[in-house]
A and B are shown apart, each in its own frame.
Chain A
Amino acid sequence: MAGATRTRLVREDTSGADAVAALAVGVASVLFGLGLAAMFEVVALTGALAGVPTLPLLGGLLLVQGVAVVVFGVGSRFGAVETNPRPDAGIVAAVAFTLIWFVVGGLVASQVLSLGLAGWLLGAILTGAAGFAATVLPREDVGSTLPAGVVTALVGLVFLSGYIAPTSVWDLGWAQKASLTAEFMVPVVTVFCALLTGWAAAKAYGGFGARGRRIGAYLLVYLNAAAIVGVLFALVAFTVFKGVPGLFRGLTFGPGVGPESTVVLFGASVTFSWPVYWPFAMNGVGLLNDLNGVLPAIVGTFWLVVGAVLFAVPLGVGAAIFLTEYAERGRFTQVVEVATNGLWSTPSIVFGLFGFAFLIPRFGNGKSLLAGMLTLGFMLLPLVVITSREAMLSVPDEYRDASAALGVTKWQTIRSVVLPAALPGVVTGTILGVGRIAGETAPILLTMAGGVFVPGSQTADVIGGFQFTAAPPFVSNPELLQATSALPYQLYALITAGVGASGNVGNPDQFRWATALILLIVVLSFYAVGIVTRYYFRRKLDYE
């Protein structure tokens, strides 16, 4: 490696220069966070943070950050800071900076200088080439800091100068009337510049070279991970904030405030009142209700998932046992595998149509809970087959050999060795599948109906609905054949109902968000049950 200095074996105490670089990394992380916050409108661009207007604050931070990075790089070049840079910053950085400077040059030439097409193209190409040269020609310490720092400082200057107002809008001039708002562009550019200078500062902190590149990569990976978690958290938090007022409206505790329930045990019936009254989860929609709720949809979703799992898991696991343990591997198993994978990626509306055209005419020609259960069961089946098969294939053959050598038959081996070892995998697959089917709208739309506002009388009482009859099949359950609702479909209906969602439910917007939140809660509780089950089976297999 020509030009590279020797790496120190032991890094001495942090020097002042290291502290500066670390500070720059810190500022970059703060900018990254601020940018994301502004993007989700947690921080208003028009407002102020700690007494300073937001936009100039961002601009100032970016300017300081850009200058600091450049100073550090140039200082390293002239020996003021001890580093171990490579001869150049590398081809990936060169391509990235070329693109960035191409865009910067193009923007300046067209927007600020108002040059024509040929003019801005020429400007963009020239600045792009300059960015390329600035990255490739100097040593790594300058090559990776100078282009990044100058861009950031420029952006900072633009924000500071007031050239962009927090309320600016750029008309893109397209036929679709698309436009970009400062509210969106400022955070995006801030986040981008924060990543760019953060990366450069992290490299500087590591003294460039292999160590610097590693630390630079770490920073990007960690910021990326933090952003993903942050976005997920923001999504859930958003739903919770919007949904909580509607969800807990009228929630009261106290003896006897809740609805009355009657439990029949051995002929003796006991009637009691719930000590909690939660209108949204305990009521349907009715004229006489003080507050309306979505009880029928909650119960419908619960029974849908239970029914689909009861239908699909035994069938799927059975099919997986046949495919892995009995069928000879060959053309047939390959075809089955391709078919199950294909079924799993089949759009849900197709399953819904199948249920509508095939199941409904066979269940009394009306939309029903049973038809919905079976349709969702068909949807769940392929994933259960695929994951159970994977889980069984990953059970070591040594177990099967050991069992056979003890004179144990194949079926007994499957039952007592293969299935227990595969159970965590089966449960994982089922959890994944439940996550999908519990949120399906299309099949429910076609097989189960429901509506915008479902009266409490449509709550499916599946357990209480079983009746013994004198004629075969001796048991019937009219509740299963009744049309009822489920949360995803009710949510869809509420949203599309528009103005029609009248004062019957008080505040329709609150009602919608509360429905969304409760759907989230129901799906997450299915997840929780699945994860606990998997943990239980895994603990039985692992040694502690």
Chain B
Amino acid sequence: MSETKQNPRQNTTQPLETTSGESDEKLRSEWTEYEFDGRTKLAVEDLDVYYGDDHALKSVSMDIPEQSVTALIGPSGCGKSTFLRCLNRMNDRINSARVDGSVAFDGKEIYQDGVDLVELRKRVGMVFQSPNPFPKSIRANISYGPRKHGDIDTSLLAKVFGRSDEDAEDRLVERSLRQAALWDEVSDRLDDNALGLSGGQQQRLCIARALATDPEVLLMDEPASALDPIATAKIEELIHDLAEDYTVVIVTHNMQQAARISDQTAVFLTGGELAEYGDTDQVFEDPQSQRVDDYISGKFG
């Protein structure tokens, strides 16, 4: 891992024992305390997630600042995707999952009765690991969300009564595709099936689809893991631009990617604990936890 600093303990004679000894390291709360300027968009407090008997996420607390990119990194199975899915309550869709704790969106608790999931997910959009456009036209993919929310209506009845929103739909499609840097590539074939696009284009279409509902937060679960380097570079550039208007939370396996695109980084370690959270430069250059240091320098995970 080229981006990381030299590990001072790398030359010890028994690195394995050292690592296993360090895994008992007591996590300290000041390592996850992160002071930032600006407003808190999402405030997570003592979040626990269980899948059946499996304790997947252990008492995680972190504040995510507005209009920035937050990267979640960590080894496989450490709970970073679980954490991400808690932020728009997608874990509700898994029968065995149970969530304890609190997540506040703009200061409002989302884990309480009476939360409108439709409204929450409109404001907190999500992009998945593998591109998953619907088997519909590019236009229909973009306008799917707003249509179902009733923001756009081009049905036969709407046409008959002269309140069809075709112009609004065209504007929305163009705006979303431009935001996702896809407009120039597909503007002449909006009515083609989205499955005919390349993998990278499909993923940007999914980002455009998420942007079309006008969210405030965009959650991304390893959005570039299934893509080639060129498509990845485009997605990374896009994420960087999106952070001007949106709060982006991104899960990634790729530490260089996290270092390149994020403002702050949270490191999860095996067992579902948040080990360290702070400014990206600081986490990568000078991690405070020995285990995080080992992980970043490639000693395990």
Q: Which one of A295-303, A454-462, A505-513, A536-544 is at the interface?
A: A536-544
Q: Is the CB of A543 within 8 A of B192?
A: yes
Q: Is the CB of A406 within 8 A of B145?
A: yes
Q: Is the CB of B121 within 8 A of A405?
A: yes
Please give, as numbers and ranges, the residues of chain A lying within 8 Å of B130 by CB-CB distance: 398
Please give, as numbers and ranges, the residues of chain A lying within 8 Å of B213 by CB-CB distance: 406-407
Q: Is the CB of B145 within 8 A of A396?
A: no
A404 sits at the interface (CB 8 A): yes
Please give, as numbers and ranges, the residues of chain B lying within 8 Å of A396 by CB-CB distance: 132
Question: How many CB-defined contacts (below 8 Å) exist between A and B?
Answer: 74
Please give, as numbers and ranges, the residues of chain B lying within 8 Å of A350 by CB-CB distance: none
B interface residues, how many (CB within 8 angstroms): 32
B95, B121, B193, B206: the one within 8 Å of A407 (CB) = B121
Q: Is the CB of A541 within 8 A of B135?
A: yes
B144 sits at the interface (CB 8 A): yes
Please give, as numbers and ranges, the residues of chain A lying within 8 Å of B209 by CB-CB distance: 402, 406
A403-421 residues with Cβ-Cβ distance < 8 A to B are 403-409, 412, 416-417, 420-421
Q: Is the CB of A402 within 8 A of B134?
A: yes
A328, A401, A417, A542: the one within 8 Å of B195 (CB) = A542
A468 sits at the interface (CB 8 A): no
Q: Is the CB of B149 within 8 A of A401?
A: no
Q: Is the CB of A408 within 8 A of B195?
A: no
Chain A 377-409 per-residue mask, 1 if CB under 8 angstroms from chain B, else 0: 000000000000000000010110111111111
Q: Which residue of chain A lies nearest to B118 when distances are taken between CB atoms in the complex?
A: A407
Alpha-carbon distance between A405 and B220 when the two chains are bound, in angstroms? 11
Please give, as numbers and ranges, the residues of chain A lying within 8 Å of B149 by CB-CB distance: 407-408
Q: Is the CB of B144 within 8 A of A543?
A: no
B292 sits at the interface (CB 8 A): no
Alpha-carbon distance between A407 and B145 when the two chains are bound, in angstroms? 7
Q: Is the CB of B134 within 8 A of A543?
A: no
Q: Is the CB of A398 within 8 A of B128?
A: yes
Q: Is the CB of B144 within 8 A of A408?
A: yes
Q: Is the CB of A408 within 8 A of B148?
A: yes
Q: Is the CB of B196 within 8 A of A407?
A: no
- Classify chain A: how many residues form its interface, as a range: 20 to 34
Q: Is the CB of A402 within 8 A of B120?
A: no
Q: Is the CB of B145 within 8 A of A416?
A: no
B90, B95, B133, B210: the one within 8 Å of A404 (CB) = B90
A399 CB to nearest B CB, Å:
6
B26 sits at the interface (CB 8 A): no
Alpha-carbon distance between A405 and B210 when the two chains are bound, in angstroms? 8
B88 sits at the interface (CB 8 A): yes
Alpha-carbon distance between A324 and B151 when the two chains are bound, in angstroms? 29
Alpha-carbon distance between A396 and B193 when the two chains are bound, in angstroms? 17
B166-213 residues with Cβ-Cβ distance < 8 A to A are 192-196, 206, 209-210, 213
B287 sits at the interface (CB 8 A): no
Q: Which residue among B130, B132, B145 has the maximum number of chain A CB atoms within 10 Å of its CB?
A: B132
A398 CB to nearest B CB, Å:
4
B296 CB to nearest A CB, Å:
30
Q: Is the CB of A416 within 8 A of B148?
A: yes
B126 sits at the interface (CB 8 A): yes
A94 CB to nearest B CB, Å:
52
A542 CB to nearest B CB, Å:
7
A200 CB to nearest B CB, Å:
49
Please give, as numbers and ranges, the residues of chain A lying within 8 Å of B136 by CB-CB distance: 420
A206-259 residues with Cβ-Cβ distance < 8 A to B are none
Alpha-carbon distance between A407 and B125 when the two chains are bound, in angstroms? 8
Contacts A/B (CB < 8 Å), 15 sampled: A399-B132, A399-B134, A401-B128, A402-B206, A404-B93, A404-B121, A405-B88, A406-B144, A407-B120, A407-B145, A420-B136, A542-B193, A543-B192, A543-B196, A544-B193
A-B pairs, 9 with minimum CB distance: A543-B196, A407-B121, A543-B193, A398-B132, A405-B126, A406-B145, A407-B122, A407-B118, A408-B148
Given contacts A404-B121, A406-B144, 14 further A-B contacts (CB under 8 A): A401-B128, A405-B88, A405-B210, A406-B210, A406-B213, A407-B121, A407-B145, A408-B144, A408-B145, A408-B149, A409-B118, A541-B135, A543-B195, A544-B193
